[in-house]
Amino acid sequence: MTTRGTLVLPADRLDSIAEAVALLRAGELVAFPTDTVYGVGAHAFMEAAVASLYVVKERTLEKAIPLLLSSGGDLSQVAEPVPVLAWTLARQFWPGALTLVVPKGPAVLDVVSPGPGVAVRVPDHPVAIELIRRLGAPLATTSANLSGGPSPTTAEEVLEQLAGRIALILDGGPCAGGVPSTVLDLTTSPPRILRAGGIPADALAKVIGL
């Protein structure tokens, strides 16, 4: 199905994933379900593609864009050095609704994050994981809404805000989480919660003593 220039495909089909990967490699933007809300992503190592996320979402350039990884082992691709605590938290909470801000590695483009840190997460959703794995690169991903708009939990809600602005939506039904991830900054001492979300503070405290 195509709605105002945006293709909508069922997320549970391998040919849909293949189409999404082809579009991402061509520099297009794709929306997809995660364990929290629907995200819209670009190939993280393609500068023009990531830059278009800001335009499509009407997002200010000061807001860095998180990266989604297919596994915790990919941390070393985008972080340097990787904090020891990041490995501990990754083992405990990934895949899941915890975003970690870690020191930015040399592979991370300034358009993704202009500062010294980068936000990273491994989503607990088979569609998102398969998409990243088949792409062979992290996805620069933010919620699939216009800046300031409600975070979408269905493909229909993505269409309401981004129809005609992105190439493809993978429709995986309603997201189970429905709330954004918790964001924990590991570039400060002690670590600091920047956004409350899917992982409660007391669960983090048991691991790192917040």
> For residues 22 and 135, is the Cβ–Cβ distance under 8 A?
no
What confidence category does residue 208 fall into, taking pLDDT thresholds of 50, 70 and 90? confident
- What's the CATH code of the domain at 103? 3.90.870.10
Angle, to 10 degrees, between the axis of helix 201-208 and the axis of helix 84-93? 130
Can the peptide bond before residue 150 be classed as cis, meaning omega within 30 degrees of 0?
no
| CA pseudo-torsion sign 94, 97, 100, 106 | positive
pLDDT in tens, 5-58: 899 999 999 999 999 999 999 999 999 999 999 999 999 999 999 999 999 999
* Residue 186 structural domain: 2-208
Instruction: Give dist(CA 6, CA 44) in Å, integer.
Output: 21
What's the pLDDT score for residue 183? 97
Instruction: Give dist(CA 131, CA 117) in Å, integer.
Output: 24
- The tally of domains found in the chain comes to 1
**Residue 3: is its pLDDT beyond 70?**
no
Give 192's strand partners: 185
